[in-house]
Amino acid sequence: MMSVLRATSLLLFFTLVGFGLLVGGDSDDARWLALLGTGWLLLLVAFWPSLPASLPTFNRTAIRTAFLLATVFAVLSVQLVRIQVVRSEATVTRRALDPVTGDAVTNPRVIESDLDVERGRVFDRNGSVLADSVRSGDVYRRVYPEPESAYVVGYYSPLLYGRDGLEATYDAELRGDEGTNALVRWRNDLLHQPQEGLDLHLTLDARLQRTAHELLADRPGAAVVVDVETGAVLVLASNPHYDPNRLFTASPPEREAAHGYWQTLTSDPASPLLLRATDASFTPGSTFKVVSAAAVIDAGFASPETTYEDDGSFEVDGRVIPENENRPDDSTIWTLREGMAWSLNIVFAQVGLALGPSVLRDYGDRFGFDEEIPFDLPLVESQLASDDEFLDERPALAETAFGQGQLLASPLHMAMVAQCVANGGQMMRPFLVDHLRNEEGDVVERTEPSVWREAISPDAAAQIEEMMVGGIERGVAAGAAIAGLRVGGKTGTAELGEGQEPHAWFIGFVGDPEPRYAVAVFLENGGAGMAGSLAIGRELLAAAMAGTP
Amino acid sequence: MIARSRFRFTEFQLLVAPSLMAIVGLLTIFVAPRGRAEWSWTDIWVSLAFVGILFGMSLGFGAIGFRGDQVVFPVTATLAGLGLLIVQRLYPDLAALDDALAGLAQRQLIYLLAGLAVLFVTVLLRRRVIEWLRRFKYTWMILSLGLLAITYLFGTEIYGAKLWLYIGPVSIQPSEIVKITLVTFMAGYLEDKRDLVGTSWRLGFLRLPPVPYLLPMGLMWAASLSVLVVLNDLGSALLFFGIFLVMLYVASGRLLYVSVGLATFAAACWFAYRVFARIDIRVQNWLDPWQDPRDLGWQQVQSEYALASGGVLGSGLGMGRPYHIPEVQTDYVFSAIGEELGLLGSLAVLALFLILVMRGFAIGLRAQDGFARLVAVGMATIIGLQTIIIVGGVVRLIPLTGITLPFVSYGGSSLLTNFFVVGLLLNVSGLRRRSVNGGSRR
């Protein structure tokens, strides 16, 4: 009887404590303490010393007291296992906020070891250093020598704001905590020697990135260049941006300065910490017509020669859509090819109606709208419509097909749309990190280009590609032509409503004759006319081709 | 009494462990931050001297014919050696933070030497110590309570608690002395009234405990507790209460006393929790220090970081950053051990304390003399409870109350009195069959 009770108590003790340690590891401390207290009582029952009645009082009481103290030591040990093993990792990196000032409290060990580590360097595709760790006194300083590319690497601010960008995504590799030989790592750990950080080699081209910034000048916007065949990102320019050198801190005065700089960054209405190329999405305007055209051709609903009526105004369910001012003459019948070249909204309104909501959603999906596109940096999701029923309304469907409605897309995503069309309908997975190298210079990890989406058939892609090239030869994007090269492109003016300058877009590709590079240029509130975005796109494509051996 | 000298072989063997620990540990501390395996004999003279004294004392015990326990001293030496290492490791970092802590290591060494001397003298005096403690139990008790009262009147307040009495350059912590006199007084009193404590008083239908005999003790208890609440030293109050209950229970065997004691204790806790804001703060800090991490919870949060950073194997002596915890050298020394020696180290320290406590109870069980055995059990309880209270507070099993980890924490009063505690344990273990004061032989 007694032994059954004891065995049950012991079993219960192990179940309770085991549950508390492993399953309820994240449960709050008060509940865990209650659990442990119950466990202690069970432990008392399980092991309560049964002493012969003949034993003198003193011996009995002394043995029981000793037993009681011993069980408390056991409970202390269990608690130590919880703190030092089970909850260890969660606690080490735990951040807590001061309720009054809102200041964060973090583990000083993590911060200090961040300054002790010689992080791996970051290079662009030609071997220019984008981020370096420089020994200074007893700490390693992080420096970013290329101001136009620095923010793509992110910032490294151990004492204050942590890390961001590639510094965050590849933190473990840059520190040497991952990717290197496990045995070597274990040895270094045991001997308290610093780990060897891995170097990042990017696909970014610092020279081209500089060109992009010269072209953007001080206008807010973004410019992206990707390799059509691989999806490698050569330019990822965002305006405005920030200088990560000013966020690195190793001493209190620097801390003050960095704090001040951070305040200006966060209070700036232009939000320079928000990188336009990847962190934000905007109405794509007519550049989305590439997706609509791809959908209607790939679905077999139309061909480039299919004709649409456009007499300057179009009524759908009582809503009148006026034509823009792009028509070169007063014809009323236009082919899809012409509609694309002259960016005719009424042609694409009819394309949208022909597609219907479900087919348009399907192609939105295939092109990566409302999807998380895998990338080395956080990339905001683009959207077809913010609410599901929106496209069920025919006017909304028509508007969406020519790039308005509730559409939002990031500049990088629009570059990938151009890449997809130029690459036979295969959207590659965009990437920024080409390979990682260890201290000996051996390549530890290499990014293999991979197809992310088979969006449309090669046949349909070829037709869209041809239409985009035609738009440069004769159409609104004629200004993008580059002598001796085959250029395709599509402009976009995203109307934002009363009183706001529209966004100016350009997406396109260049090749000789096969497409090599795709581009997307976005000027926030860049105004109608598209000359700005178009010119930047052309210059970037020309520069990319000029840099190609 | 002349006793034959005898070589204490077991003790001598067991002392190898703390000796190696002290020497290798100190070497690690000096070599680790340099990153090069360079050292000189002068780096580790402290450990060499410590080891020399340990073996010398063991030989000394043998030379004076001491036949007592051979495990208690090596275990104590290990813990004290660890305390020595931790202070040697911490003082350069702490001195860099606060000039007032620059002399930490030297003072700790002096205290340690004095403590070992106290231990040796306690053993050397043999039964005379026990006899004095028993004969003058009222005197000791009144003197120590008087010391507490003086502390209340003239003491220095640090961190809101009046714990220290400054006499010239020397500061003493009277509560450390009171914990010992409390045990010896209760042991003496309960042993004197042994035949009566277990009986009961009839009052009509009611069977009451023998009130007149428990009354002076109750008064004593109330006085010491109230003084402590006034002095703001909650850790010692908890310790005294625990000692009181254990002594009463062990001597009388009456669970009733323990229940009444626990009930009044719970009531006192509730009362204190409702009345004193600072206890409210402690309870909040116990359940969730992360709520106010920069202010009230700062120390506890830093300690959590330290323990968690240690993991299983620890960062290694001298390789961690325990100096981020305020008061790491006293209240939070256990967190420093947890960080640098890991779970293995912190569990080992707990195990050493457990061995010491269990050995103390075993000494009490073997002792023949009624007073001596109660003293042994009381001394073991002091060490056990003090460890539980401070470690439990550090690992947030109970609210934290400032108290030292015996032998390991920095602090003169604590070191001296705890070495005296162990001295008494050894002393009792060495007593021959003839009981103190020529009392009855059973």
> What pLDDT digit, counting tens, does each position of B22-43 carry?
999 998 888 877 767 778 888 7
Distance from CA of B392 to the nearest CA of A (A): 7
Q: Are B425 and B380 in contact (CB under 8 A)?
A: yes
Q: Which residue has the tokens 């100016």?
A: A504
B309 touches chain A (CB under 8 A): yes
Give me A335's structure tokens. 């082919």
Check whether B435 has a pLDDT greater than 50: no
Stated pTM of the model: 0.74
Q: What is the pLDDT of residue A389?
A: 86
Q: What is the pLDDT of residue A229?
A: 93
Query: Which of B194, B197, B332, B343 has the most A C-beta neighbours within 10 Å, making it the best mutation to test the interface with A?
Result: B343
Q: What is the pLDDT of residue A381?
A: 93
Q: What is the pLDDT of residue A25?
A: 53
Q: Are A427 and A455 in contact (CB under 8 A)?
A: yes
Q: Which of B147, B143, B156, B155 is nearest to B175 (CA)?
A: B147
CA angle, B289 then B291 then B292, to 5°: 80
Residue A358 DSSP label: H
Q: Tell me the CA distances in angstroms from B414 to B129, B141, B184, B243, B296, one per residue in order.
A: 20, 18, 18, 17, 26
pLDDT tier, B285 (very low <50, low <70, confident <90, very high otherwise): confident
Q: H helices of B6-135, where?
A: 9-14, 16-31, 45-63, 72-97, 104-124, 127-135
B255 touches chain A (CB under 8 A): no
pLDDT tier, B145 (very low <50, low <70, confident <90, very high otherwise): confident
Q: Tell me the CA distances in angstroms from A528 to A349, A405, A532, one per residue in order.
A: 20, 18, 9
Please report the number of interchain residue pairs, chain A to chain B, with beta-carbon separation below 8 angstroms.
Answer: 147
Least confident among A50-59, B140-149, B414-423: B140-149
Q: Are B339 and B306 in contact (CB under 8 A)?
A: yes
Distance from CA of A67 to the nearest CA of B (A): 9
DSSP A36-94: HHHHHHHHHHHH-----TTS-HHHHHHHHHHHHHHHHHHHHHHHHHIIIIITHHHHHT-
DSSP B123-168: HHTTHHHHHHHHHTHHHHHHHHHHHHHHHHHHPEEETTEEEEEEET
Q: What is the pLDDT of residue A65?
A: 95
Least CA distance to B321: which residue of chain A? Answer: A109
Average pLDDT of every residue of chain B: 84
Q: What is the pLDDT of residue B295?
A: 79
Q: What is the pLDDT of residue B440?
A: 42
> What pLDDT digit, counting tens, does each position of B346-377 carry?
999 999 999 999 999 999 999 989 899 999 99
Rounded Cα distance between B6 and B15, Å, is 17
Q: What is the pLDDT of residue B159?
A: 63
pLDDT tier, B54 (very low <50, low <70, confident <90, very high otherwise): very high
**Neighboring chain A residues of B251 at a CB cutoff of 8 Å:** 58, 61
**In chain A, which residues have pLDDT < 50?**
none
Give me B357's structure tokens. 């406590």
B299 touches chain A (CB under 8 A): no
**Neighboring chain B residues of A74 at a CB cutoff of 8 Å:** none
A270 touches chain B (CB under 8 A): no
Interchain CB distance below 8 Å, B347 and A62: no
Q: What is the pLDDT of residue B438?
A: 44
For residue A341, give the amino acid letter.
A
Residues contacting A277, CB < 8 A, separation 6+: A222, A223, A224, A236, A237, A238, A410, A411, A412, A522
Q: What are phi and psi of B337, to 5 degrees?
A: -65, -45
Rounded Cα distance between B63 and A368, Å, is 88
Query: Which of B377, B397, B398 has the most A C-beta neighbours within 10 Å, making it the best mutation to test the interface with A?
Result: B397
Half-sphere exposure of B159 (CA within 13 A, CB side): 12
Residues contacting B278, CB < 8 A, separation 6+: B160, B232
> What pLDDT digit, counting tens, does each position of A115-131 carry?
888 889 999 999 999 99
Distance from CA of B67 to the nearest CA of A (A): 23
Least CA distance to B366: which residue of chain A? Answer: A59
**Neighboring chain B residues of A49 at a CB cutoff of 8 Å:** none
Give me B24's structure tokens. 């290798």
- Rounded to a whole number of angstroms, the distance between the first and last alpha carbons of chain B is 23
Q: Are A502 and A496 in contact (CB under 8 A)?
A: yes
Max avg pLDDT among A457-461, B247-251, B260-264 = A457-461
Q: What is the pLDDT of residue B202?
A: 65
Q: What is the pLDDT of residue B442?
A: 39
B50 touches chain A (CB under 8 A): no
Residues contacting A464, CB < 8 A, separation 6+: A290, A293, A294, A297, A421, A456
Q: Is A280 exposed, middle or buried (0-12, 13-18, 19+ CB in 10 A)?
A: middle
